[in-house]
Structure 1
Amino acid sequence: MSDTQTRLGRAPIGSFVALGDSFTEGLGDETSEGALVGWADRFADRLAHRSPVPLRYANLAIRGKVIEEIITEQVPRAIELAPDLVSLCAGGNDILRLGSSVDRITDRFEEAVVELSGAAKTVLVFTGFDPRGTPVLRHLRGKIATYTAHIHAIAERHGCAVVDLWSMTSIQHPQAWSEDRLHLSSEGHRQVALRAAEVLGLAPTAPATPTTPVRDASAAAVRRGPARQTERLEDLRWAKEHFLPWLGQHLLGKNPHETLEPKRPELLPL
């Protein structure tokens, strides 16, 4: 058991604040009425049932946010709330931008961690996903791996708990991802919530869901014939319907008519 797990085992978590972008807001994990759930809501629900004290929970994450926006808009609010536990997942939208510097992104990430560590008892951070099965994004695999290594180093220096998304085999299959291949599905968010609970010593180690692995880019590259042609056509359809609109939105900015607010801006009982 890690030092973080031991510490949390002695001190019940009475308050939890989640910071970040679409991943923490819960895109890809919607109810039948269209409300967003996501790993943070699922984790908070599990935490509330396991904690001997009532849980208060706030989720300040907003889709599309880059690390500078998270630091200037969300981190100060989290410091005001002074929770027992704060989660920080940031930098993913920055890394996908042309010309972005991983060193610059992680320098700002570490500054945020230092500030949050002074207000919260425990800081939970997340690495990047392994994009090897995603067209286009798999070409950024080296950059995301470097980012992941930096996150581990930051966590080591400041005593953070880490959810290593890169190594999670339970999300390395198509069922863990929504149709756009950019956001987790309900199953993917469920797996991350379970992993976060495990990292914090709140759940036993759960085996990965036995499913078909995500296509490996290197294996797909050597395929020939109709199967490979079908994959290419599917990848082109995905790029046209999902990736290019998403990329354009990020490069040109958000829809000016779209008002985005945190779904749980206050630290309230779950």
Structure 2
Amino acid sequence: MALGDSFTEGVGDVDSTRPNQMRGWADRVAEVLCAEGDWEYANLAVRGKKIGQVINQQLDQALALSPDLVTIYAGGNDILRPKADLDALMRGYEGMVRRFAEAGSKIVLFTGFDTVESPLFSKTRPRTAIYNEKVREIADQHGAVIADYWRWREFSDIRYWAVDRLHMNELGHALMAAKVLEVLGTQGITDENWSSKIQQPSLPDFAVNSRGEKLRQELGWAKEHLAPWVKRRLTGTSSGDSLSAKYPDYIRLTVDAN
């Protein structure tokens, strides 16, 4: 069972055959689990969701399906809002994790990505650090497993990121899937060797662009990605408002699933 926002929905890993036209690391993990063991998979994550929305819109539905294993990552969209009260939000987050723990689910929580090298999002780094410490405290309190995105420095490579600069691309999602399977293996939840079943395409060479080409890319990015994001913030809308969960009920997911 996967809960959360665009990170877990799979935004950036485009696949027109999938619901919402996205694959993503959670699908990739599920493909391995379903192929290698007696697993089924559900994914309730929808892009743009904040912590409160994940709690209100996904928690009860997930608990009703009695998951053996649940992954939760929410908070990135809250961190981007300076006025959001992280302490209050993380109290709700803890309550969500506690309900899964009381139900007997194994729980995987994610720390937030370190934006130290991001010109656009580096100012959110202190809030992400606070969020991460809260996640670690919650994990300690309820026996959850940590998938430590903050410490996985290879994700700082821009070749793992989509053109919107906010989401991982297919290479990033493939690497994340391998990382999550490795965490599950070291915790004895799955076979330790299953992470090797994620195909890792070779990274492309770094692009060498002229100053003019870089400027054109910056202007194109601002028009196609930054401006719509700012407009949604100003109008109180979300990119996920018209979308529903990719897999609201359990399925046995295969590479050819759609």
Q: TM-score range by the shorter chain?
A: 0.7 to 0.9
1:40-61 per-position Cα deviation (integer Å, ceiling 9, x unaligned): 000111112332x2x2111101
Q: Distance in 2 between matches of 1:33 and 1:40?
A: 16
1:98 aligned to which of 82, 97, 104: 82
CA distance in 2, matches of 1:78, 1:234: 41
2:144 to 146, 160, 171: 160
Which 4+ stretches in 1 moved above 3 angstroms? 202-206, 208-212, 229-241, 255-258
3-state DSSP of counterpart to 1:58: strand
Mapped partners of 1:97, 1:123: distance in 2: 27
- Once the two structures are TM-superposed, the CA of residue 230 in structure 1 deviates from its matched residue by 8.0
Residue equivalent to 1:27: 11
**Which one-letter code corresponds to 1:189 in the other structure?**
H
Matched-pair contact (CA < 8 Å) for 1:124–1:160: yes
1:243 aligns with 2:229: no
User: Gapped runs of 5+ residues in structure 2?
Assistant: 186-190, 254-258
Mapped contact 1:124–1:162 kept (Cα < 8 A): yes
Match of 1:41 among 27, 46, 50: 27
CA contact (8 A) 1:194 1:203 kept: no
For 2:84, the aligned partner's letter is S
Conserved? CA contact 2:48–2:238, under 8 Å: no
Residues 192 and 152 (structure 1), Cα distance of their counterparts in 2 relative to 1, 3 Å cut: same
Instruction: Give the distance between the partners of 1:244 and 1:133, measured in 2 at CA.
Output: 22
Q: Residues 145 and 210 from structure 1, CA distance in 2 versus in 1: closer, same or farther, beyond 3 angstroms?
A: farther
Sequence identity, in percent?
A: 37
Partner residue of 2:61? 77
What amino acid does structure 1 have at the position aligned with 2:132?
T
| Contact 1:86–1:120, Cα closer than 8 Å, also in 2 | no
Q: Distance in 1 between matches of 2:238 and 2:139?
A: 35
Work out whether residues 43 and 197 of structure 1, in 8 Å CA contact, stay in contact via their aligned partners in 2. yes
| Partner residue, 2:245 | 262
Paired residues, what number? 239
Structure 1 residue 179 corresponds to structure 2 residue 160: no
**SS at structure 2 position matched to 1:262:** coil
AA in 2 matched with 1:18: A
Residue 158 of structure 1 deviates from its aligned partner by 0.9
Structure 2 vs 1, CA of residues 209 and 42 (structure 1 numbering), >3 Å: closer, same or farther?
Answer: closer
- 1:147 paired residue number: 131
Indicate conservation of the 8 Å contact 1:19/1:89, yes or no: yes
Q: For the residues of structure 1 that align with 2:239 and 2:47, how far apart are their CA atoms?
A: 14
Structure 1, unaligned stretches of length 5 or more?
Answer: 1-16, 215-225
Partner residue in 1 for 2:188: none
* Backbone CA RMSD of aligned residues: 2.8
Is the Cα–Cα contact under 8 Å of residues 48 and 240 in structure 2 kept in the other structure? no
